[in-house]
Structure 1
Amino acid sequence: MPPPLPPELPSILVVDDEIRSQEALRRTLEEDFEVFTASGADDAIAILEREWIQIVLCDQRMPGSSGVALLRQVRERWPEAVRIIISGYTDSEDIIAGINEAGIYQYLLKPWQPEQLLLALKSAAEMARLHAENQRLTLELRTAAPVLEKQVSHRRASVRQQFALDAVLRAPGSPMNAVCALVKKLAALDIPVLLTGESGTGKELLARALHYDSPRAGEAFVVENCGALPDQLLESELFGHKRGAFTGAFEDRVGLFKQADGGTMLLDEIGETSFAFQVKLLRALQEGEVRPVGAPRPIPVDARVIAATNRDLEAEVRAGRFREDLYYRLAALTIHVPPLRERTMDIPLIAQALVDETQAALGRRFEPLSAEVITCLQAWRWPGNVRELRNEVLRMIALADDERLSAAHLSPRVLRAGDAHEEPALSMLSGLDGDLKTRLEALEARIVKESLIRHRWNKTRAAKELGLSRVGLRSKLARYGLERD
């Protein structure tokens, strides 16, 4: 059971058979301590049984029982109390022999000086406070340990579920199904993997799936963007450094490779590294050890390395910009992540998931995405992939007036679903079949529908934008079957 909270002032029990000594000590201590006095061992024991005493200051020579004998009893029954003995006899063999047995914290000599005595007793009070605090914290941790262990276990399971392959959104027939099947096979194999694909396709998400589906899932997953730092800082980040290794190195730093020891290290944008750094990285991967900057010797590390890049590393090797030996060290097996435009069937799932994620964060509710919105999203080429799709979802949510997310709030380029490098009309015509008349009619139908979507199916505004009367617009709607249910 932990000791009770101490009083506002530290409590001290002065045990001395000489009344004058008791009074002198009381006057010296009463401003900084709550002082109790006793004339002998029996009185002291009685006070200890009813009061919370932090320090026992005891004279050695007393009738009936010596100070060492009393402090021996105190140690057995009240071990948390700090025991100090005071004596005028410097050669007392009893004190010297009893220091360890009675657990005496300090031995003071008479005549004592007030300043020295106060300094010693304040130090003893601080020791008593720290001891009591340590006891309480130990008990709290012991009590909380099962709860904390359960919380950590639940958190780990939640993280594994969040980044498992089942969390990679994909539709039946999606190219991502084959990618995920390959990731599933490779997760259990402790070999390096190279992830390639355009920026924003989800390479880091697949790297996390490789880690959390692997035997290393219980250890750290560490990410470093190799293209974001110059060589010296990147070397320090990955390998660590010793204090004073360079200007600004005020303390030792543990590198990310060491932090990932036993786990997985993702080297993102590996194609952006310099030739000089590639040499150091190759050695670290070959030897299974890293040398912190300024360290006299390397340290071993055991981290699975996954690399990711949006470059064609084979072309970089042929061009002499990437080391061939490092490429083969990183690419035991390569996984290519297809861009979003090659898996349009996944767009509705991903877009709706982004809506659900955002509305949960904002505490708002939105209706499921409409067919109009999905049609527009699937028609766009998404050069920025999932990152660009996320921005479009955020734009719709920011501009929404109610619970319905409207296609009218999409960016003009997404709404038109045109090619960014061609004239919109030419792009739209190139995707149509039939003779010229059929293509022009299909193009007209698209333009009319786009105008209606932009004006949220307000026919008066759409007709005005298109330079038509309401009767003329109604005629075209009937002709092209664009009447909205």
Structure 2
Amino acid sequence: MNLSDSLPSILVVDDEVHSQAAMRRTLDEDFTVFTASDADEARALLERQAVSVILCDQRMPGLTGVAFLKEVRERWPDTVRIVISGYTDTEDIIAGINDAGIYQYILKPWVPDHLLQTVRTAAEAQTLQRSMNQLDLELRTSTPVLRQRVAHKLAQARSVFDFERIERGSNSPLNAVCSMAERVARYDLSVLVLGESGSGKELIARAIHYASPRGGGPFVVENCAAIPDTLLESELFGHKRGSFTGAYEDRPGLFQRANGGTVFLDEIGETSPAFQVRVLRVLQEGEVRPVGAARPVPVNVRVIAATHRDLEQRVHEGLFRKDLYYRLAGVSITVPPLRERAGDIAPIARRLVRDVGAELGRPGATLNDEALACLMGYPWPGNIRELRNEIARAVALSDGDEIQAQTFSLRVLHGQAGLAASGQAADQALSLPSSGTLSERLDAIETMVLRETLLRHRWNKTHAARELGLSRVGLRGKMVRFGLEG
């Protein structure tokens, strides 16, 4: 299978080999990653390979990152462009945001989770933009019958984010969360979504948007932690042509792009006082003033904010403005972490296997019972994002369509074994027996010990046999006897 046929392609342009390697490690589970050391090498690759997103270092031999991305904008305009810099040359980059059409600016040292999420969002934005451009063209040039068909396609796209489509168990704590969010969606109130990173806050925010009267309008996402203060005004409010060096045309800001729809401000708890003041002013006045504009521009948006921080505590510590907190928290919704939603793991895992399997060209991929029990026994500190990455790894490493426990990473196998040994998974296969004859209970305990040891050693029979004081033949005999031989 050629993974480049199913995964979005990313080009990393950086003259430092260790930086290339670090970004490849961060991105290669979700993307096909190409690398280049300078503009010439990158240009040659782009001539023969389409890519979704370019990550380009600002300081390189020859052309700077901004200068190269300006050329990319002219020759490959559909590519999403991101510049990375560890220097204070923000003036050149600010000018290049419009000139080179830069989607995002990332400061060094970058954080792997933030980099991965930024690139994911960029790739999704490119896919959605292409789809919307095509649909818009069809709407403007088609007959009434075709326009009706296209409108139906848009309705189907919105239904993807329906509350009923959010995977969860029958008695999930998310039922109450979704019920409350659905009731709130119909009213034009600000919403603050709280919860750990990767727990599904953006999914809830999108569902609120599409269930609201604004559902036909844009849904614009901004990762607040990723915006340097030097870029705030242009990013949030836009700018007018000629307002600064490199501003060759008008550029709408975040709130203007979301006019009539919803702005989702992710990681609002990480923002600086300058950011908080500017957002508060927009919420209070309902208007923005683009950089270089003579008068403010009215905007009509709904704001949904999210954070993994305790904002009340940050208000108490003087790190977050109290007036902005009360503006944002018209309604607060807390998404529980995955470890508190054990009943959700199975349906989410099965859905992810289907989705990831389709992406990787393995549409028949399934989880066997032991693999599912292993997933349900791990606490998932990284929540759904970590679960998705683990399943993507397992699908890629599995020899057949059936995913087995030994394809999971060591931390998941250890986590599952630890929970079972401590009695926290009493309703799973590794729990201690509470009934039966002495012989039956001893067999059950022996089965539990064998399975726990095999899981911990990732089904390496030699290592497991050595730990248990058995020969490989003896271990294999016991595995056959207790039905553990796959």
TM-score per shorter chain, which class? 0.5 to 0.7
Counterparts of 1:483 and 1:344, CA distance in 2: 25
TM-superposed deviation, 1:455: 7.7
Change over 3 Å in CA distance of 1:457–1:307 after alignment to 2:
closer
Q: Is it true that 1:209 corresponds to 2:190 in the alignment? A: no
The offset of 1:190, in angstroms, is: 0.7
Tell me the equivalent position of 2:451.
449
The Cα shift of 1:337 comes to 0.4
Segments of structure 2 that go 5 or more residues without pairing to the other structure are: 1-137, 433-441
1:149-188 CA-to-partner distances (Å, cap 9, x unmatched) read 1343122111211011011111111100000000110010
Among 378, 392, 395, which residue is 1:394 paired with?
392
C-alpha displacement at 1:259, in angstroms? 1.4
Change in Cα spacing, 1:352 to 1:331, as seen in structure 2 (3 Å) is: same
Measured after TM superposition, the shift of residue 430 of structure 1 is 7.2
SS in 1 for 2:199: coil
What residue in structure 1 maps to residue 470 of structure 2?
Answer: 468
Which residue of structure 2 lines up, in the alignment, with residue 123 of structure 1? Answer: none
Question: Which residue number corresponds to residue 182 of structure 1?
Answer: 180
1:334 alignment counterpart: 332
User: 2 CA distance for matches of 1:180 and 1:264?
Assistant: 18
Q: Which is further off, 236-245 or 402-411?
A: 236-245
Alignment partners' CA distance in 1, 2:404 and 2:484 = 17
Percent identical residues: 58
1:265 to 263, 271, 278: 263
Indicate if the aligned counterparts of 1:428 and 1:443 stay in contact, CA closer than 8 A. no
Quick check: which has more Rg, 1 or 2?
1
In structure 2, relative to structure 1, the CA distance for the partners of 1:429 and 1:170 (3 Å cut) is closer
Give 1:274 deviation, angstroms. Answer: 0.8
SS at match of 1:209: helix
Q: Please state whether the residue corresponding to 2:263 is helix, strand or coil.
A: strand
3-state SS of paired residue (1:381):
coil
**Residue of structure 1 aligned with 2:305, choices 307, 311, 324:** 307
3-state SS, counterpart of residue 448 of structure 1? helix
Deviation per CA, 1:178-218: give whole Å up to 9, x if none: 00000110010110000000011111111110010111111
Residue identity matched to 2:260: G
Partner of residue 151, structure 2: 153
Change (3 A) 1:468 1:268: same
1:166 aligns with 164
Contact map agreement 2:410 2:458 (CA 8 A) in 1:
no
Match of 1:279 among 263, 277, 280: 277
Taking the aligned partners of 2:418 and 2:343, their CA distance within structure 1 comes to 25
Q: Flag the structure with more relative contact order, 1 or 2, with Cα contacts below 8 A and sequence separation at least 6.
A: 2
Deviations 1:295-341 (Å, cap 9, x if unpaired)? 22211111011001111100010000000000000001100000010
TM (norm. structure 2) is 0.63
Shift of 1:401: 0.9
CA distance in 2 between partners of 1:343 and 1:228 (Å): 30
Find the aligned partners of 2:480 and 2:400 in 1 and give their Cα distance. Answer: 30
Aligned match of 1:82: none
Q: Which residue of 1 aligns with 2:286?
A: 288
- Specify the alignment match of 2:402 in structure 1: 404
Deviation at 1:466, TM superposition (A): 3.7
Task: Report the alpha carbon displacement of residue 429 of structure 1 after superposing the two structures with TM.
Answer: 3.9
> Could you report, residue by residue, the CA deviation over 1:217-238 in whole angstroms, capped at 9, with x for unpaired residues?
1111111111111123233122
CA contact (8 A) 1:240 1:292 kept: yes
User: Match of 1:337, as an amino acid?
Assistant: V
Q: Distance in 1 between matches of 2:139 and 2:418?
A: 69
Q: Which amino acid aligns with 2:179?
A: A
- Alpha carbons of 1:151 and 1:478: their partners in 2 closer, same or farther (altered >3 Å)? closer
Alignment match, 1:81: none
Equivalent position of 1:372 in the other structure: 370
Alpha carbons of structure 1 residues 273 and 143: separation in structure 2 relative to 1, 3 Å: closer
Secondary structure of 2:291's aligned partner? coil
How many angstroms does 1:359 deviate by? 2.1
The counterpart of 1:320, out of the listed 313, 318, 321, is 318
Q: Which moved more, 1:161-170 or 1:457-466?
A: 457-466
Residue equivalent to 1:349: 347
Letter in 1 for 2:237: F
Contact 1:396 1:405 in 2 (8 A): yes
- Which of 239, 242, 251 is residue 241 of structure 1 equivalent to? 239
Rounded to whole Å, the distance in 2 between the matches of 1:163 and 1:249 is 37
- Cα deviation for residue 444 of structure 1 reads 7.2
Question: Residue 366 of structure 1: CA displacement?
Answer: 2.7
1:89 paired residue number? none
**Aligned counterparts of 2:479 and 2:391: Cα–Cα separation in 1:** 29
Using the TM superposition, give the Cα deviation of residue 467 of structure 1 relative to its aligned residue in structure 2, in angstroms.
3.3
CA distance in 1, matches of 2:446, 2:238: 63
Q: Which amino acid aligns with 1:223?
A: V
Tell me by how many angstroms 1:294 deviates: 2.0
Q: Distance in 1 between matches of 2:164 and 2:175?
A: 11
Q: Which residue of 2 aligns with 1:66?
A: none
Deviates more, 1:232-241 or 1:296-305: 232-241
Structure 1 length as normaliser, TM-score? 0.63
* Cα distance change, pair 142–327 in 1 and its aligned pair in 2 (3 A): closer
> What are the Cα deviations for residues 261-297 of structure 1, in whole angstroms up to 9, with x where unaligned?
1111111111111112211211110111111122222
- Determine helix, strand or coil for the equivalent of 1:335: strand
CA deviation digits over 1:16-43, x for unaligned, max 9?
xxxxxxxxxxxxxxxxxxxxxxxxxxxx
User: Which ranges in structure 1 are unaligned for 5 or more consecutive residues?
Assistant: 1-139, 419-423, 435-439
Give the CA deviation at 1:443. 8.8
Cα distance change, pair 441–333 in 1 and its aligned pair in 2 (3 A): farther
CA RMSD of aligned residues (A): 3.2
What SS class does the counterpart of residue 267 from structure 1 fall into?
Answer: strand
Moved more, 345-354 or 245-254: 245-254
Q: How many matched pairs?
A: 336
2:229 corresponds to 1:231: yes
* Residue of structure 1 in register with 2:381 after alignment: 383
| Mapped contact 1:407–1:454 kept (Cα < 8 A) | no
